[in-house]
Amino acid sequence: MHRRIVTCVALAFAFSAAALGASLRPAAAAPVAQLKHIYYIMMENQGFDDVIGHENAAYALDAPFITQLAFTYGLETMSFGTTHPSLPNYLSLIAGNYFGIQDDNASCYAVPKQSPCDTAKGTNLVDLLEARGMTWLDMQQSMPSVGYLGPQFPTSTNGPTHYAQKHNPFLYFSDIVNNKSRMQKVVPLTTTSLAATVSNPATAPNFVFLVPDECHDMHGTTDCANNDKLLMEGDKYVQYLVTTIMKSKAWGIDSAIIIAWDENDYSSNIGCCGSPYPHGGGHDPLIVITKAYRTPIEIATPSNHYNELRSIEDAFGLPHIGNSATQPPSLDPLLYPWLNSAP
Over residues 104-127, the pLDDT tens digits come to 999 999 999 999 999 999 999 999
Looking at residues 81-103, what average pLDDT do you find? 96
Q: What is the mean pLDDT of the chain?
A: 88
What is the mean predicted confidence (pLDDT) over 181-201?
A: 97
pLDDT at 34 over 70: yes
Summarised one tens digit per residue, pLDDT across range 119-174 is 999 999 999 999 999 999 999 999 999 999 999 999 988 899 999 999 999 999 99
pTM: 0.90
Label residue 257 by pLDDT band (50, 70, 90). very high
Work out the number of other CB atoms within 10 angstroms of the CB of residue 160: 18
**CA torsion sign, 41 to 161 to 266 to 328?**
positive
What pLDDT score does 2 carry? 38
- Beta-bridged to residue 4, according to DSSP, are 297
**Domain map (residue ranges) of the chain:** 4-285+292-339
CA–CA dist 316, 240 (Å, integer): 26
User: For residue 294, what are the CA distances in angstroms to 116, 223, 236, 243, 336?
Assistant: 50, 41, 25, 18, 12
Residue 7 has pLDDT above 50, yes or no: no
Mean pLDDT over 27-33 rounds to 44
Predicted pLDDT at 58: 52
pLDDT band at 55 (very low <50, low <70, confident <90, very high): very low
Averaged pLDDT for residues 273-287: 89
pLDDT in tens, 41-52: 999 999 998 898
**CATH second-level architecture of 4-285+292-339?**
3-Layer(aba) Sandwich (3.40)
